Amino acid sequence: KQEVTQIPAALSVPEGENLVLNCSFTDSAIYNLQWFRQDPGKGLTSLLLIQSSQREQTSGRLNASLDKSSGRSTLYIAASQPGDSATYLCAVSGGAQKLVFGQGTRLTINP
């Protein structure tokens, strides 16, 4: 059974810092990996989707990498801003149209 872990559960950094969020998964037979952002009380916003054949994807200040063989993904946020404060979730798809989610990392950017 696929399990997804995100460490740390919470992270607080000063504005302007570059930071990395981590995601690991136990079964490397994934189809793709998706990173989401969730603001309190809201739905999930898709940030990046990485197919299993890709190593990384970039969108603006965000860069996500995937190392399928080691079961790891990272989300790099450059020049963090207070508006980046949110919970970040990663999820993997094993090909059955279903996503398995991590518990998320709650990120706080301090002005």
The nearest distance, CB 97 to another protein, in angstroms, is: 5
Which parts of 35-64 interact with another protein (CB under 8 A)? 36, 41-46, 49
> Would residue 97 be called left, alpha or beta, if left means φ above 0 and alpha means ψ between -120 and 50 degrees?
left
Backbone angles phi, psi at 76, to 5 degrees: -100, 125
88 binds another protein, rule: CB under 8 A: no
89 binds another protein, rule: CB under 8 A: yes
93 binds another protein, rule: CB under 8 A: yes
Tally Cβ neighbours within 10 Å of residue 103.
13
Backbone angles phi, psi at 14, to 5 degrees: -75, 155
Q: Which residues here bind another protein, judged by CB under 8 A?
A: 31-32, 34, 36, 41-46, 49, 89, 91, 93, 95-99, 101-104
